[in-house]
Structure 1
Amino acid sequence: MLDHDEVVRLYGPWAHRTPADAATRFGGYGGQWWIAGGWAIDAFVGSSREHGDLDIGIPRDSLDGFIRFFSPGLDVWAAAGSLTPLFPGSAPRLHEGTDNLWLRASGADPWEYDVMLERVQDSMWIFKRDPRILRPLKDCLWRYKGVTYLRPEVQLLLKAQNPRAKDENDFERCLPLLDLSDLDWLKGALHSAHPGHHWIERINRRLQD
Structure 2
Amino acid sequence: MTWDPAPLSEVVTLFSRIRAPWWIAGGYAIELAVGHAFRTHDDIDVLLFRRDQAAVQEALPAWECWAADPPGTLRPWLPGETLPPTVHDIWCRPGPAQPWRIQVMLDESDGDDWVSRRNPTVRRALADLGRHSAAGIPYLAPEVQLFYKSERPRPKDEQDFTAVLPVMNGTRRRWLADALGTAHPWHDRLG
Q: TM-score range by the shorter chain?
A: over 0.9
Q: Tell me the matched-pair count.
A: 187
Please point out which of 80, 102, 117 is paired with 2:91.
Answer: 102
Preserved CA contact (<8 Å) 1:75 1:85: yes
AA matched with 1:63: Q
TM-score, structure 1 as length reference: 0.85
CA deviations on 1:120-163 (whole Å, 9 max, x unpaired) are 12121001111111111120100111210001000000111000
Quote the RMSD (CA, aligned, Å). 1.4
Aligned twin of 1:85: 76
Aligned twin of 1:66: 56
Preserved CA contact (<8 Å) 2:115 2:124: yes
1:47: Cα distance to partner? 3.1
Secondary structure at the counterpart of residue 107 of structure 2: strand
Task: State how far apart, in whole Å, the 1-side matches of 2:140 and 2:117 are.
Answer: 15
1:16: Cα distance to partner? 3.1
Matches within 5 A, 1:8-157: 11=1, 13-48=2-37, 49-67=39-57, 69-70=58-59, 72-80=61-69, 81-91=72-82, 94-144=83-133, 145-157=135-147
Task: State how far apart, in whole Å, the 2-side matches of 1:147 and 1:167 are.
Answer: 22
CA deviations on 1:159-195 (whole Å, 9 max, x unpaired) are 1100000001111112222101110110000000001
TM-score, structure 2 as length reference: 0.92
1:72: Cα distance to partner? 3.0
Preserved CA contact (<8 Å) 1:71 1:88: no
Task: State how far apart, in whole Å, the 2-side matches of 1:163 and 1:79 are.
Answer: 21
**Gap runs ≥5 in structure 1:** 1-10, 205-209
| Change in CA separation of 1:20 and 1:102 when aligned onto 2, cut-off 3 Å | same
Aligned twin of 2:155: 165
1:192 aligns with 2:158: no
**Gap runs ≥5 in structure 2:** none
Q: Which has the higher contact order (CA 8 A, sep 6+)?
A: 2
Preserved CA contact (<8 Å) 1:71 1:87: no
1:110: Cα distance to partner? 0.9
1:71: Cα distance to partner? 5.3
| Change in CA separation of 1:43 and 1:165 when aligned onto 2, cut-off 3 Å | same
Larger Rg: 1
